[in-house]
Amino acid sequence: MEALSFGQIAASAIGDWKSARKPKRSGSVHRTEAPVLRNSIEAGTFEHEFFVPPAKGETDEILRATEKLWKSRADLRARLLSEGKAPSRLENWILKLTANVVAILKEILDLARLNAGRVYPSYEWLKKATGLCRGTISRSLHVLEGLGLVTRQRRFKRIEVEGVGARYEQTSNAYRTALPSQLKAYLPRWMRPAPIPVDYLQHRAESASETDAMLATLSCREYAKVTVGGLMGEALAKYGDSLDRAESESIFQRQPLIDSYIIGGVGVGLVGQRRFA
């Protein structure tokens, strides 16, 4: 019997281990060769509902608020340390604000102001505009999403190819900006919106109660026309008119009880007919 060397034994063991592995699902190349990322939507199918033109001065307000939050991180950290509290989820995102995050947000806000809210820059465009690397841009966008300052939507597009190959490919993301009300609580008082006067709130409550009392006096037909309107309101008004007629007939044209006109020995109607009525 021929003796085997250690190398031959090891090679044989490795070969047996490889053959015991689970084979691949298919030996062919992936049919698209460029899989689309999760939660992506086809470009050109949703932008008309996603993009919102910013109001006058809105982009400047968002940038000023973000810069103020970035510069007040030390005060927030000191307050949490003095109170012995752990930072909340939103406070954790505020503590992650950096100059790079503010720079990325500034570029997105500039595009929103110049393009009426239609913002879809690529990572390459942001790299040239800010001089930051792709990883820093990705982390900055993640922080902006956590703060609620930016809403990001992945997109893909169709491509024309001949033969076998990818039919879709990933394209630039779509972005929408906003200033959440939760962040305003961490801003100085002079940067917060003025509180609503108490007399205004009381006036609104009284108006709502008066409106409810007025609606309660309307018929079904009038209620449908006032509250709904349009074609649906007309259809409901016709249905309400039939309900009003049925209700009026039941009120003003009541049918008498059976044999209620028979006079008995003790009383009128059923009471006079039955002894124990």
For 143-200, what is each residue's pLDDT tens digit? Answer: 999 999 999 999 999 888 777 666 888 999 999 999 999 999 999 887 777 777 888 8
What is the spatial distance between Cα 76 and Cα 62, in angstroms, rounded to a whole number? 19
Q: What is the DSSP letter of 98?
A: -
Whether the per-residue pLDDT at 123 is higher than 90: the answer is yes
Which pLDDT score, from 0 to 100, does residue 271 have? 53
Q: State mean pLDDT over 118-123.
A: 97
The answer on 245 and 154 residing in a single domain is no
- Residues 79-86 have a mean pLDDT of 94
Residue 273 has pLDDT above 50, yes or no: yes
Is the residue at 252 inside a domain? Answer: yes
Whether 87 and 169 share a structural domain:
yes
Q: Let me know whether 77 and 159 are in one domain.
A: yes
Last residue of one domain, picked from the residues 150, 174, 191:
191
Domain of 272 in residue numbering reads as 218-277
Q: Tell me: do 179 and 223 sit in the same domain.
A: no
Which of 173, 191, 209 marks a domain boundary? 191
In a domain, 121, yes or no: yes
Angle at 47 between CA 44 and CA 53, to 5 degrees: 145
Distance CA 116, CA 104 (A): 18
Both 275 and 156 in one domain: the answer is no
Q: Quick one: pLDDT at residue 9? A: 58
Parallel, antiparallel, or unpaired for β 168-177 and 150-158?
antiparallel
Q: Give the pLDDT of residue 66.
A: 96
Nearest 5°: the CA angle 242, 245, 246 is 85
* Domain endpoint, select from 156, 191, 226: 191
Residue pair 168/32 in contact (Cβ under 8 Å)? The answer is yes
Indicate if 230 and 187 belong to the same structural domain.
Answer: no
In a shared domain, residues 187 and 222: no
Question: Are 98 and 40 in the same domain?
Answer: yes
Checking if the pLDDT of 264 tops 60, the result is no
Average pLDDT value over all residues in the chain: 82
Same domain, 47 and 120: yes
Q: Cα–Cα distance between 211 and 203 in angstroms, integer?
A: 12
Asked whether residue 204 is assigned to any structural domain, the reply reads no
One domain, residues 129 and 226: no
Interatomic CA distance for residues 13 and 36, integer angstroms:
40
What total number of domains does the chain contain?
2
DSSP 53: P
Q: Do 45 and 162 lie in a common domain?
A: yes
Asked whether residue 178 falls in the same domain as residue 247, the answer is: no
- The reply to whether 101 falls in a domain is yes
Quick one: CA dihedral 24, 25, 26, 32, positive or negative? negative
